[in-house]
Chain A
Amino acid sequence: MSAAHGHPHRHPPQPDLEDGPYSWHMALTDALAQLLIAKGVFDREALRATLERIDAATPAQGARLVARAWVDPAFRERLLADVNAAARELGIDPGPIPIRAVADTPDVHNVIVCTLCSCYPRFLLGAPPDWYKSRAYRARVVREPRAVLAEFGLELPPEVRVVVHDSTAELRYMVLPLRPLGTANWSEEQLARLVTRDCMIGTAVPRLPDPACLDA
C-alpha cells in the first residue's frame, strides 16, 4: 500500500484485479468490443450472454457424455463419430467448434495437449486448467509424456502405448477413458461422478473412490 493511498488501515497483501498492468492486448480487446458494439455488429447483451454461455460450461457436461458412452454402445459409436452431435442428443450445447473423442483401450492411453497455445474443448468442458496452458506442460507432454503423467500420479505400465494428441488445427479433442472395473451395477449418474476434467484430458483415469475416504 502506497503512502499516497491516504488512509491508515492495512490492505491485504494480495493484489487486486487492477494492480497488474493494463496491457496492450487488454486495451485492444476493450477497444474492439466497444467498436463492434458501436457499429451494431452485436450489442452488449449478446456479448454478455455469449461470455456467460462459455463460462457456464463445466467438465460435468463431458462426464455425462462419457457415462452414457459406457452404458450405451450405440451412443459410444455416435460419440466417437461426432462429439458435437452426440452432445446435442443429450441436450448439451457443444459450441460451434468440432470436437473429436479419442478412446482409451487396455493397450492405449490418450492424452491431449495444444503445444502452440491452449486449444481446448472449452464450450464442452469449461475453461482449461492453468497448467494446460503452461509452457512446461505443452513442451514436456509431447517429449516425455510418461514422466509428466507420473507427476500427475498416473503411472502407466510399459505395455500400454501412450498416444499424445497435439490440437494444432480446427479440431478439439477429449479423451473417452476406460470404465473402471467394479462398476457393473452403477447408474449413469454414479458413473459420471467418476469422470473428472483430468480424465478427459488424459492426465488421470477414472478410479473408484478410496473406501477410506468414504468412511472418513
Chain B
Amino acid sequence: MTAALRPGMRVRVRRWDPPGHVRTPFYTRGKIGEVVAEIGPMPNPEHLAYGRHDRPPVRFYRVAFPAGGLWSNATFPDDLVIVDLAEHWLEPLEQQP
C-alpha cells in the first residue's frame, strides 16, 4: 500500500457530509491544508464504529491548516491547526512529480 500523499503537498478536504460515524471535523471541510506527515494505515473509524473489522485499514495524514484559511477573522493567521485526516477525505491540489 503506497501513500498517495507526501509531506509538503497541498490538499483540500472534501466538502462532503456522509451519514454515519465521521471523524473529519466540519471546520476543515472544503479547506486547504498542507500534509505534514503520514501516520497511517489505521482502522477506518467510519467502518470500525459499526463493527466492520473486516474492512481494510486506511492511510491517515497530519494536515496543517493556517488559522487564516480556517477563520475569516483570525487575529494570528499564521498560527496552525493540525488535524489527523483519512486519505479518502483529501484531494491533492498538485500533481505528483
Contacts and interface: CB of A to CB of B under 8 A. Distances in A.
B80 A168 contact: no
Chain A interface residue number, banded: 10 to 19
29 contacts: A115-B27, A116-B25, A142-B27, A143-B27, A143-B71, A146-B75, A158-B76, A161-B76, A161-B78, A162-B80, A163-B64, A163-B79, A163-B80, A163-B81, A164-B79, A164-B80, A164-B82, A165-B82, A166-B81, A166-B83, A167-B84, A168-B83, A168-B85, A169-B39, A169-B42, A169-B85, A169-B86, A170-B60, A170-B84
Nearest to A108: B80
Name the interface size band of chain B. Answer: 20 to 34
A213 B56 CA distance: 56
Given A115-B27, A116-B25, A170-B42, 9 more contacts: A116-B23, A142-B27, A143-B27, A161-B79, A161-B80, A167-B84, A168-B83, A170-B84, A171-B84
Given A142-B81, A143-B71, A163-B82, A168 B76 contact: no
A164 B60 CA distance: 18
B69 interface: no
